[in-house]
Amino acid sequence: MHWPEQAIKICGVRTVEHALVAAHAGATLIGMIFAPGRRQISPALGHSISAALRAAGVPTHSVGVFVNESAATINTIAAEAGLDVVQLSGDEPADIVADLNLLALKALRLTNSPAEQQWQALALAQPGQVRLLVDAHVAGSYGGAGVLADWQRAKAWAASTPTLLAGGLGPHNVAAAIEAVAPWGVDVSSGVETDGIKDSAKIIEFVTAARQALGRQYI
């Protein structure tokens, strides 16, 4: 597959229903969590969601989120779940990409560490294989914390390489975030939930607002 021209990712999806709601609204990436946590799903459920997206005939790709797994484990689960993209949300080294079978999305938290600099260099050199996701830095968290990222620093990253903006986004602020950062796309999880469960109305509202704002970047 190829990366979508514009990325709107709904992450932490745990049902076929919510995946299809997001896809039909215009989301281009559906994120499923295979790391320990309250949003974790099984590879079998992931396969059902991936298959439903393909059967629906929508231009929406499945993304599996992993935290500090080996390339072998990631490749195995990715095959079982029928994934299109793998997201690395832990402390994975950049050289893991050589051993992955799918496109890679790497979550960074703008700590300016040597490891993050290596990932940025890799994304600059191989944008067809590796894209970056910028999230907030929250101690002890590997994402989904609902905290805003540093938009000013994210803008600098987005200016040099295709960047997916995450962290504290929701229907209420996604348009402002896109205007401020000019990212390749946006990512949301808790911002489209009610009481910890994905909310179809919020998903549609978020995707609609994101599509409109991303469209304005190309006018």
Of 9-18, 106-115, 122-131, 132-141, minimum mean pLDDT range: 132-141
Can you name the residues that pair with 197 across neighbouring β-strands? 194
User: 28 near 6, Cβ under 8 Å?
Assistant: yes
Helical segments of the chain, H only? 16-25, 43-56, 71-81, 114-125, 151-160, 174-181, 200-216
pLDDT tens string 43-52: 999 999 999 9
The CATH classification number of 7-216 equals 3.20.20.70
Domain boundaries, the chain: 7-216
11 belongs to the catalytic site: yes
Helix (H/G/I), strand (E/B), else coil: 135: coil
Helix (H/G/I), strand (E/B), else coil: 53: helix
Question: Which entry of 95, 99, 135, 150 is annotated as an active-site residue?
Answer: 135
What is the Cα gyration radius of the chain?
16
Residues 9-27: b if buried by 16+ CB within 10 A, e if exposed: bbbbbbebebbbbbbebbb
pLDDT tens string 36-79: 999 999 999 999 999 999 999 999 999 999 999 999 999 999 99
Helix (H/G/I), strand (E/B), else coil: 88: strand
